[in-house]
Amino acid sequence: MKLKWKIITIGLLMLGMLFVLNLVRHLVFERQQRAQEVRQEISQFSAGEQTVKGPFLVLPLTETTSKLIEQTTPQGKTSSWEESTSSRNIIISPEQFSAKGQLAVESLKRGIFEAPIYRSDLILSGRFALAPLLSFEQQPSSSREKISSRWGQPYLVLSLSDVRGIQNMGGTLAADTLNFEPGTSQSAIGTHTTANTAEDSAAAVAVAAPAPVAKTNLGNGVHAMIKLPDSGQSLDFKLHLKLSGTTQLLIEPVGKESHVALAGNWPHPSFSGNFAPVERSVTAQGFSARWQTSQLATGGAQTSKCSESECSSASLGLRLVDPVDRYVLNERTIKYAELFVLVIFGAVFLMSLMRRIEIHPVQYALVGAALALFFLLTLSLSEHLGFAKAYWTAAAASVLLLGYYVSFVLAAWQRGVGFAVVLAALYGLLYGILQSEDMALLMGSITLFGLLSCVMILTRKMDWQALRPASAETVV
């Protein structure tokens, strides 16, 4: 076969290999998606990722506004009072907030897939500074307006992403024991307006429907009814919460000053959220971390109106990650597949030219198929053995098979051994690149430069014009 047609044939084979490698890449994606689905299934029958928000004091306030409306008619001047009733929640954040937690982490398996779950013992403590209730009430804007305020039953609320994770909960507020119930809000918000004449306004108010109650936007969680002491006092609270979840635990620093400390037995935490720990320690036995924030950093307010807008969602915490995620490593491995095939095809082609050996396209195709099976073997074995063992098992099988086969293709066992050594070195180099993510680009660039240098040195005396198929030795 002429050199030109040989190069074209090898190029077409490489295009076919790209199609096969894309199938393997798609399979990696499918298995990764399946693993994510299993993690979601695990969280569905246990508890999902958790975000702890609160506690807050919720003070329901109903206000009735009466405005004097005067009208001039042919019968004379008339006046009437127009009333409107609205409800809102005054939500008070802690003046000081502290959270301490200890996590016990284990891996829950489902088939060949697994997900980290945790059981945490949390202690939430702090102090509320209660302002006079009159400071929250609206005042009439003129003498033609009257505003009457009625305070509802106050309650303490704690928001949680997944209440199924609550295993036990209790606490105190101002030395009073708290009895928690499901939910974070009362009935939905509503507003109604009625217009009455001056004569029948009193009767209308007497038969008016109960005032609507505002609803908070704190999501899922629990609440406990409380009794407020005299205004201006401080209320100390302490909550004990046993909470389970999957993969992630976040705590929102809701206080004017917030201190959070978490520790656990997972050696690979990824600290997440909006704030980095001021102190951290990660060892093979576990981790510990401490955060400290202020109201200036979180952008929160001591008193907010969550019935009118969403509450702030600044958070801090951690994710339980697997640093050797087999699907991530397989995905990174397959990124180098095309380059790997190009190097191996180029090496076989170069050796055939230097030794004047004719290699059939089918033999190139078989070499390419063996290379593609390496990536498939790595994926399938990693689901049972772990990535490192799977990689080296697949690499050893590939080196032995291709070394044996190429020794016959190139008509000498020494050439097959040399090819196997080069292939093993490439597998080792690829594994080193995978383990050094930050240095991957540098190592890859140096490797390519080294390979190009070897090709140029080995072919520096080759007379490309003198290559003739007639001088080639055919190997079947």
Q: What is the pLDDT of residues 297-328, one digit of tens each?
A: 776 555 444 444 445 568 999 998 877 678 88
Report pLDDT digits (tens) over 40-63: 887 777 888 999 998 999 989 888
Nearest 5°: CA angle at 114, between 111 and 116? 155
Alpha helices, H only, 160-230: 201-206
The count of residues in the chain is: 476
Helix axis angle, 3-45 relative to 361-385, nearest 10°? Answer: 20
Report pLDDT digits (tens) over 369-423: 898 999 999 999 998 888 899 999 999 999 999 999 988 887 788 888 888 998 9
For the cut 90, the answer to whether the pLDDT of residue 263 exceeds it is yes
Q: For residue 375, what pLDDT is reported?
A: 92
What is d(CA 87, CA 239) in angstroms, rounded to the nearest whole number? 29
Q: Which of 40-49, 66-75, 155-164 holds the top average pLDDT? A: 155-164
Q: For residue 300, what pLDDT is reported?
A: 57
HSE of 374 in the Cβ direction (CA atoms, 13 Å)? 28
What is d(CA 374, CA 396) in angstroms, rounded to the nearest whole number? 9
Alpha helices, H only, 182-252: 201-206
Q: For residue 163, what pLDDT is reported?
A: 92
Provide mean pLDDT across the span 337-341.
84
Report pLDDT digits (tens) over 348-375: 887 777 777 777 888 888 888 898 999 9
Decide if 128 contacts 234 (C-beta within 8 A): yes
The band of 467, judged by pLDDT with boundaries at 50, 70 and 90, is low
**Cis status, amide bond into 94, omega within 30 of 0:** no
Residue 15 carries which DSSP code?
Answer: H
Of the candidates 140, 146, 94, the one whose C-alpha atom is nearest the C-alpha of residue 260 is: 94
The band of 119, judged by pLDDT with boundaries at 50, 70 and 90, is very high
DSSP one-letter string for 411-460: T-HHHHHHHHHHHHHHHHHHHHHHH-GGGHHHHHHHHHHHHHHHHHHHTT
Site of tokens 């004449």: 197
The first and second tokens of residue 109, run together, are 């398996």
Query: Phi and psi (nearest 5°) for 453?
Result: -65, -40
The band of 215, judged by pLDDT with boundaries at 50, 70 and 90, is low
Cα 8 vs. chain centroid, distance in angstroms? Answer: 46
| pTM: predicted TM-score of the whole model, two decimal places | 0.71
